[in-house]
Structure 1
Amino acid sequence: MLVTVPIGAWVAALVFDIASHLVDDPAFLARGAMWLIAVGVLGALAAALVGFLDLLTIPRGTPAMRTALVHMSLNLLVTCAYAAGFFWRHADGTTGSVGAGKLALSAVSLAVLGVSGYLGGKLAYRYGVRVADEATRAEGYTRTRTGPDRA
């Protein structure tokens, strides 16, 4: 449930960024987007703590673990990108509409978050990580052999 906070905040921030180009006085939208990004970063850090605990329950060398590691890496990348975006916005101030670079950073970060969200859904709904019984999780928790002798 914690993931809804950063997702919602970052989607709303992008909407505010776009809307800042459509109004006569964009400063309030640019400022709102900046603080929504901050809320999203804090929410992502809280979600990451719980996610890391989930990661510890997944056996190593399994498809679920590989998916979880990519999911975690993408989430860390996105969170760092949004944190950098917050500091960039804070340093520049919020007197006008959001610049193209900041808007692009938010859009690309949100797209990467979408890919990570797909992987998170795969973890929960295909592999049953922390939501299903042992029999359901068997597919994602079965170790696979790698190398030239793999059949």
Structure 2
Amino acid sequence: MESTPDRAKHPASAALAGPYGHPYHPILVTVPIGAWVTSLVFDVASHIVADPAFLNRGALWLIGIGVLGALAAATVGSLDLLMIPTRTPAFRTGIWHMSLMLAVTVGFGAGFAWRAVGMLDGPVPFGPLVLTVICLVVLTIAGSLGGKLAYRYGVRVADEATQATGFLGAERSANTY
């Protein structure tokens, strides 16, 4: 049987969660993060330009794309969470990460619904803009916990022996410069 840290490095299903040492979750999270951050840029810009409606509609679409992307990332992320042994600091961190990310996704989903009920003609109203900022602050905290899972606890990160293969021959290369 694998030791506790080794178990969390391997996928529950390589086809669904990504192969050993190359998980899909960190790849997929770039979609909602990028979409949601850009939606805030559009929100702010809608208060600066002469014709803000296109930015308001663009922010709505970006939020919707982010919610869909977050659902995809959550699906494979939950497979990674299943491999972390319970009653460990890594598992507790994973539960907090997942819970905060679900709250962020629900918050952006609510923001999408709020905006979609006819507030698309002028600049983004103050309420939805503030909701976006709050969600992005919580997203930052949740993302930090995700980083802790990978970089401190090594969840879904290849072991050091596997990592070392990327540095073979470094001694020879260092002497050529």
TM-score (norm 2): 0.74
Deviation at 1:51, TM superposition (A): 0.3
Helix, strand or coil: the match of 1:73? helix
Provide runs of 4+ in structure 1 moved above 3 Å: none
Matches within 5 A, 1:87-106: 87-106=113-132
Aligned match of 2:56: 30
Q: Distance in 2 between matches of 1:66 and 1:19?
A: 39
Matches within 5 A, 1:18-97: 18-97=44-123
Where does structure 2 lack aligned partners over 5 or more consecutive residues? Answer: 1-26, 162-177
Where does structure 1 lack aligned partners over 5 or more consecutive residues? Answer: 136-151
Q: Distance in 2 between matches of 1:42 and 1:115?
A: 20
Per-residue CA distance 1:103-139 (angstroms, 9 max, x = gap): 000001001000000000000011010113299xxxx
Q: Distance in 2 between matches of 1:87 and 1:132?
A: 41
Deviation at 1:93, TM superposition (A): 3.2
Given candidates 13, 23, 47, the residue that maps to 2:39 is 13
Q: Distance in 2 between matches of 1:51 and 1:134?
A: 22
Identity %: 66
Q: Distance in 2 between matches of 1:93 and 1:23?
A: 17
Indicate yes or no: 2:156 matched with 1:130.
Answer: yes
Aligned Cα root-mean-square deviation (Å): 1.2
- What is the aligned length? 135
Aligned match of 1:141: none
Q: Distance in 1 between matches of 2:48 and 2:160?
A: 52
Q: Distance in 1 between matches of 2:123 and 2:30?
A: 27
Per-residue CA distance 1:49-96 (angstroms, 9 max, x = gap): 000000000000000000000000000000000000001100133000
AA in 2 matched with 1:45: L
Helix, strand or coil: the match of 1:83? helix
AA in 2 matched with 1:125: Y
Per-residue CA distance 1:3-37 (angstroms, 9 max, x = gap): 00000000000000000000010000000000000
